[in-house]
Amino acid sequence: MKYYAVKKGRKTGIFTDWPSCKKAIDKYPNAVYKSFSSQAEAENFLSDQGSQSVKVDSNDQVLAYVDGSFMTANNRYGFGGILIYQGEKYTFFGGGDDPELVKMRNVAGEMMASMRAVKAAIKLEAKAVLIHFDYQGIEKWVNGDWQAKNDFTQAYRQFMLDKEKEINIQFVKVKAHSNDHYNDIADQLAKKGALN
């Protein structure tokens, strides 16, 4: 019996048949998967965070911390982020009051910050970007765990899938308000963006 381990795909985990595995990786950019003859080997592959199919030198990757905010007082969403690349730090922030996006409150800012971080990483000519985020949708809409139901979440998902052809995008979940220094900076920048 074969075990198919999917480390990066629409769905991750261990599958015991090829059609299920294929469904999890089909048309997913930079999918990471492998077949094994035992479940233990497949589990080892999934738990070994060090071995990625795309080896990226830390000098070639951008660490991005992103956040979104919403101010009810002025009905504006904000976004902000900090990028760390080759020892340099870059910050950005902004906001808006588009009525459709305002309905999404801080989530609009979360997505805009992630897209801005990817654009900036590509402009810096990095090979990879590690997006540190605290709102789950940032990753889950892209990997298909959550269904993108409105125009903006669909556009966000499509943007990320398209950009994965240009740069290796990885997601790192951080706990909100956990005193993570860079996450706190992103939070402050997003609030600043919502005020402008």
- Confirm if 56 and 168 have CB atoms less than 8 A apart: yes
pLDDT(161) > 60: yes
The CATH class for the domain spanning 58-195 reads alpha beta
Q: Where in the chain is the domain with CATH 3.40.970.10?
A: 3-47
43-90 pLDDT, tens digit per residue, is 777 765 433 334 455 678 999 999 999 999 999 999 999 999 998 999
Q: Looking at residue 140, what is its pLDDT?
A: 93
103-144 pLDDT, tens digit per residue, is 999 999 999 999 999 999 999 999 999 999 999 999 999 998
* Strand ranges inside the chain, DSSP E: 3-8, 13-15, 32-36, 61-71, 76-85, 88-96, 128-133, 168-173
The CATH class for the domain spanning 3-47 reads alpha beta
| Helix orientation angle between 181-195 and 106-123, rounded to the nearest 10 degrees | 110
Q: Looking at residue 18, what is its pLDDT?
A: 85
pLDDT(173) > 80: yes
- Confirm if 111 and 98 have CB atoms less than 8 A apart: no
What does pLDDT average to over the chain?
A: 87
Q: Where in the chain is the domain with CATH 3.30.420.10?
A: 58-195
- 38: how many CB neighbours lie within 10 A of its CB? 11
